[in-house]
């Protein structure tokens, strides 16, 4: 009898929660957001698919599922630089250990073309090092780079440069940057390279001894040659609304330096819009959307550069989606959204894969994230 009462009460709660918002005040549960930082989109013609591919650029919006992109599209009044992408596919994101991936496993699959267990950074489930698209490019004599909004000890940038079985082993992960040979490394995290280290090592000094130039400001970044380590903040970069053009500056400098130094051999570059995920974990739709819109503006810069270059494949995707976000209300003309979050974590919904440039025609269909990683890497040759 008691169990029947419990089931009846649960059914009642379910019925109430599913009632239309006009009747139960669900609108009060929505978070509404709008922004004045809208921008126009310059349309691009499709790329010449027969052109030689010299450069491969992978851009990762951490936590950026189709629902997050849809919200940003409404906020920018029906236009995004992502709209210029000529091919779209879907990526299944489960890891070797869990249905719901973390950024360690999700990023490693994209970087190396192999699934691994959650929390692993550039290693297989048994801890054996996996080598990323940047390692392949370096072995072929190409230049390489990583640009990120977060601190460099975070999972996604580390997936492309370092190897560890635990994403929270920050000291050995950061030490991996001194050994990775990547030519251009820019992001946050000065504290992780020295002041916060338990082992007393000064990784900046070690990288300088290996020939790296070091920058801590945008001015220094724009003046320094390769190889270059740019640590632009003590931890993550400032939030999008406060950092100005820093992310775009870091990216444009990467494109200029890597293209000049690589010549006809080309380069491979990973660019991450990291903090979309952070604010989705906090269910802060405003900050998450400002991060995504800044990421999309950076996508626009990269696409414009790639279109002028003519020999660059650009792929944009996510390691997973975050927040169980739903777009439930809003106004396209006003650029206003009303959303609800279902959790403060990741989910297992497939995420979009976008591509533009020579070779982009094959970036369609539904694949595992590791298979997308293999496909991306296959164009580095």
Domain boundaries, the chain: 29-378
What pLDDT digit, counting tens, does each position of 289-324 carry?
A: 999 999 999 999 999 999 999 999 999 999 999 999
What pLDDT digit, counting tens, does each position of 113-145 carry?
A: 999 999 999 999 999 999 999 999 999 999 999
What pLDDT digit, counting tens, does each position of 346-364 carry?
A: 999 999 999 999 999 999 9
Output the CA torsion sign for 319, 322, 38, 335: positive
Q: Is 103 considered catalytic here?
A: yes
Q: In percent, how much of the chain has pLDDT > 90?
A: 92
CATH of 29-378, picked from 2.60.120.10, 3.40.720.10, 3.20.20.10, 3.40.50.300, is: 3.40.720.10
- The two tokens of residue 173 are 């992960």
The backbone region for 186, taken as left when phi is positive above 0, alpha when psi lies in -120 to 50, beta otherwise, is beta
Give the largest Cα separation in the chain, rounded: 77
Q: How far is CA 3 from CA 9, 140, 331, in A?
A: 10, 66, 45
pLDDT of residue 25: 52
Mean pLDDT, all residues of the chain: 93
State the Cα–Cα distance between residues 228 and 215, nearest whole angstrom.
8
Under DSSP, the state recorded for 45 is: P
Given a contact cutoff of 8 angstroms between Cβ atoms, the answer to whether 340 and 329 are in contact is: no
State the Cα–Cα distance between residues 231 and 104, nearest whole angstrom.
21
Question: Does the global pTM surpass 0.85?
Answer: yes
* Sheet of strand 325-331: strand arrangement: 31-34, 336-341, 325-331
Phi then psi for residue 13, to 5 deg, are -60, -45
Catalytic residue among 95, 103, 132, 233: 103
């Amino acid at each position: 009898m008691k169990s029947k009462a419990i089931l009846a009460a649960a059914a009642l709660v379910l019925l109430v929660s599913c009632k239309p918002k006009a009747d139960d005040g669900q609108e009060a549960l929505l978070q509404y957001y709008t922004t004045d930082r809208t921008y126009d989109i310059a349309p691009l013609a499709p790329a010449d698919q027969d052109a030689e591919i010299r450069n491969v650029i992978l851009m990762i919006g951490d936590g950026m599922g189709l629902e997050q992109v849809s919200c940003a599209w409404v906020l920018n009044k029906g236009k995004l630089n992502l709209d210029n992408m000529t091919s779209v596919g879907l990526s299944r994101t489960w890891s070797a250990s869990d249905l719901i991936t973390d950024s360690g496993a999700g990023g490693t699959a994209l970087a190396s073309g192999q699934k691994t267990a959650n929390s692993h950074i550039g290693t297989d489930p048994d801890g054996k090092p996996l080598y990323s698209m940047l390692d392949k490019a370096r072995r072929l004599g190409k230049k390489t780079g990583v640009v990120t909004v977060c601190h460099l000890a975070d999972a996604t940038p580390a997936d492309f440069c370092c190897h560890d079985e635990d994403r929270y082993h920050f000291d050995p992960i950061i030490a991996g940057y001194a050994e990775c040979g990547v030519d251009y490394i820019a992001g946050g995290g000065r504290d992780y390279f020295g002041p916060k280290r338990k082992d007393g090592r000064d990784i900046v000094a070690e990288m300088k001894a290996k020939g790296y130039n070091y920058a801590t400001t945008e001015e220094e970044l724009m003046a320094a040659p390769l190889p270059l380590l740019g640590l632009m903040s003590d931890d993550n970069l400032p939030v999008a609304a406060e950092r100005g053009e820093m992310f775009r500056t870091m990216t444009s400098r990467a494109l200029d330096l890597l293209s000049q130094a690589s010549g006809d051999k080309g380069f491979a570059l990973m660019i991450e819009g990291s903090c979309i995920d952070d604010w989705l974990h906090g269910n802060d739709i405003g900050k998450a959307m400002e991060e995504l819109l800044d990421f999309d503006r950076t996508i626009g810069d990269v696409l414009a550069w790639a279109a002028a270059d003519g020999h660059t494949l650009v792929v944009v995707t996510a390691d997973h989606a975050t927040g169980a976000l739903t777009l439930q209300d809003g106004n396209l003309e006003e650029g206003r959204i009303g959303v609800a979050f279902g959790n403060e974590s990741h989910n297992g919904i497939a995420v979009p894969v976008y591509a533009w440039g020579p070779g982009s025609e094959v970036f369609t269909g539904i694949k595992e994230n590791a298979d997308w990683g293999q496909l991306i890497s296959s164009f580095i040759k």
